[in-house]
Structure 1
């Protein structure tokens, strides 16, 4: 489960930039985050990879008016509309950005180098043609919020039944880190997003964190193959709801603009 996908940061801050709410420098710094560098390859009119600032300006010149997120998983092409080549690359990356008003999409390729504790992360966004069609299975923000409330109850019951509720030193450390980020004033979304989108995204990220810990940490000792399969079957619907909610939240600025 991607707690904070790079495609989400690119879409959120790209939308804020396209709406004139932030400067190019602020948008790029927020998208790059803790990575070393982001570049974009395959842009129409460009011979090779270019920096993110130039790429965002180029997308605007190509007529892009907004950016949407796709978070696909096997059997669930969430946010995608084709063609098959783009869908396949997005599925491999588990995320993508789809442009509004231009048939283009961006898929990240992440490379890491350096010793443990001093990793150098670079991201190359591949720009590819996309099919202009409604994206698959994207809910409205209201629908996503209702689904999340039910999913949180289901997740709590499921984790307790499987004896992998969020407890123990590893789980506590992860939750403490999550709380610390929130208390430090981390901007969950860029300017221009409605408060409801922020609320939905925060809850979706928390559910994603709990699901991720449930997959990774058992009640102590080894976890058998049958136990792992039971856990996966029980948690898959919850994880699916959390991904749908993330997409709805990241796409909220575009949806509101189109409605208004």
Structure 2
């Protein structure tokens, strides 16, 4: 969870486009971010994959009034509404976007190419969003922004306590470098959400990403030859995983609540 999910970028900037707050080109550029290209396959009325600009316009023509995010995990169909075929594909990808009003969902498939051992800008990344039918039903287990903010505050305390007890603070230079990188990114003035989102959504998403960063650091190699931070035994590794699992679940729920808040706010105002 150190990185923003592609589904979050698609929903955030897609919602801004649907609301007329950004241009199609800006939305497409923001969604693609550092990826080489995004295409959407299986859109009704399109015989072959199309680019993001055309795809978002087509979704609007098909009745889409907003985009919601799903971040499911095994045993937790977070943000999904069915049918089983779509849920299974979204679970495999660990993310998806649901087009409200169009009865369609998008699941990303990632293709990477580059020299062995290459990373960052040396890797060519293409994303194909597969468009499939979905049920128009309330998404599973998505809290309100208020609920998410309260849950996250407690989760952050729990995560900090767990990491301290299990000696993650002394886990080594790799963990410290990951934490420094997250802090630098957080201080870089990046735009967390697209225009049109309430300030509370920005706060919730920033806090969820901070909790996610702590979890990711705890699960990385410590830099001293031992995995899982400072854990030195199987029982400690198991204890850490068990302690962090509900915290990770809370952070994922909060992310979905933040990304979906623009749609929820529009529906509360009667702008379906």
Q: Specify the TM-score bucket, using the shorter chain as the normaliser.
A: over 0.9
CA contact (8 A) 2:15 2:262 kept: yes
Q: 1:253 corresponds to which residue?
A: 262
Say whether 1:148 aligns with 2:157: no
Q: 2:163 corresponds to which residue?
A: 159
* 1:61 to 1:11, Cα distance in 2 relative to 1, 3 A: same
State the Cα distance separating 1:181 from its structure 2 match. Answer: 2.2
CA contact (8 A) 2:175 2:220 kept: no
State the Cα distance separating 1:86 from its structure 2 match. Answer: 0.5
Query: What value does the CA root-mean-square deviation take over the aligned residues?
Result: 1.4
Q: Which moved more, 1:207-216 or 1:166-175?
A: 166-175
Say whether 1:88 aligns with 2:88: yes
TM-score by length of 1: 0.96
For 1:212 and 1:85, the matched residues in 2 are separated by 30
CA contact (8 A) 2:24 2:53 kept: yes
TM-score by length of 2: 0.92
Alignment of 1:125-204 (within 5 A): 125-165=129-169, 168-204=172-208
For 1:224 and 1:216, the matched residues in 2 are separated by 15
> What residue ranges of structure 2 are gaps of 5+ in the alignment?
227-231
Match for 2:251 among 228, 242, 245?
A: 242
Deviations 1:23-59 (A, max 9, x none): 0000000000000000000000111111111000000
Q: Which moved more, 1:220-229 or 1:99-108?
A: 220-229
Q: Paired residues, what number?
A: 260
* 1:187 to 1:167, Cα distance in 2 relative to 1, 3 A: farther
Secondary structure in 2 matching 1:189: coil
For 1:194 and 1:83, the matched residues in 2 are separated by 31
> What residue ranges of structure 1 are gaps of 5+ in the alignment?
none
Match for 2:235 among 221, 226, 231?
A: 226
Secondary structure in 1 matching 2:48: coil
